[in-house]
Amino acid sequence: MKRILVTGGAGFIGSHLCERLLSLGHEVVCLDNYFTGSKMNIIHLMHNPYFELIRHDVTMPIYVETDEIYNLACPASPIHYQYNGIKTIKTSVMGAINTLGLAKRTKSKILQASTSEVYGDPEVHPQNEAYWGNVNTLGPRACYDEGKRCAETLFMNYHDQNKVRIKIARIFNTYGPKMNSHDGRVVSNFIVQALKGKDITIYGDGSHTRSFQYVDDLIDGLIKLMDTPDSFTGPVNLGNPIEITISSLAHTIIKMTGSKSKIIYLPLPQDDPKQRKPDITLAKRELDWSPKVDAETGLAKTVEYFRRVL
């Protein structure tokens, strides 16, 4: 049994990770400041004696004994990370410094939840890990993108200088149950709008693309990455390479929910990436990982979840 710290553990991905790590027989310490996460995501774990919850902000130093750390703390939805850009950068950068310092002291292995946003609005398609990206340092997404890029740099510096055992996962768009219904990301927005009979809000003309992975696949990938030999640090893409347009996502969700919602078109936010699709050759080779859950199954489970909570 290992003692594993999950920062951002009360969030969407973090809560699924805490659940899985407990089911694998580990002790889990979940740390969160509840900015975008919620105790409701982990309330069912509270009775478990191997689960502990700490209300804490990763911008402050952390003292806890651990074997492994998953650093997920950071708002992930554009509306939330842009709400207070300075705080978002502090969370990524100081959160990385504090968790890396902890890993150095406790000799823990540490995994960083990085993002496909490090590729910005990509000029290389699909995106592989060798691509350096195309990020506007001054745009509205920069607080998130540059914070995550700097965190990757810090991870590599701690690895090179202090021999900290690191893993960097570049996570592509992920969806599933426990997304916050007010989160603002496209899958939750469209499902909530469809179920409530409200207008489906496509930003732009709907021709831009994303590649969506179901959360269970991501959790498999994160755990496999943590278990790779120390010589493998990543970065490694974790995402589903099936690319779709936002317009086709809207039509699929309308059909699945039997909704009478109309589609409306709103302005595309500044610097919104036009296309995104992971090259997962590296993950296949090094982790023996590829996504298993198809869109029909994943979306059906997510719709069922939102029907229950709304």
Decide if residue 272 touches ligand UDP (CB under 6 A): yes
Bridge partners, residue 243, by sequence: 211
For ligand NAD, the binding residues in 87-126 under the rule CB under 6 A are 91, 113, 115
Q: Which is nearer to ligand UDP, 3 or 208 (CB)?
A: 208
CA distance linking residue 61 with residue 94, whole number of Å: 9
String of contacts with ligand UDP for each residue 175-214, x by CB under 6 A:
----------xx--x-----------xxx----x-x----
Decide if residue 269 touches ligand UDP (CB under 6 A): yes
Query: Known catalytic residue: 144?
Result: yes
Q: Which conformational region is residue 288 in: left (phi greater than 0), alpha (psi within -120 to 50 degrees), or beta? A: left
Query: In the block, which residue shows the tokens 């296309």?
Result: 275
For residues 212 and 224, the answer to whether their CB atoms sit within 8 Å is no
3-class state of residue 241 by DSSP: coil
| DSSP secondary structure string for all residues of 129-183 | TT---B--TTSTTHHHHHHHHHHHHHHHHHHHHH---EEEEEE--EE-TT--TTS
Q: Out of 119, 144, 175, 214, which one is annotated catalytic?
A: 144
String of contacts with ligand NAD for each residue 132-171, x by CB under 6 A:
---------------------------------------x
**Site residues, ligand UDP (CB under 6 A):** 77-78, 173, 185-186, 189, 201-203, 208, 210, 246, 268-269, 272
**Site residues, ligand NAD (CB under 6 A):** 7-8, 10-14, 32-37, 57-59, 72-76, 91, 113, 115, 171, 173-174
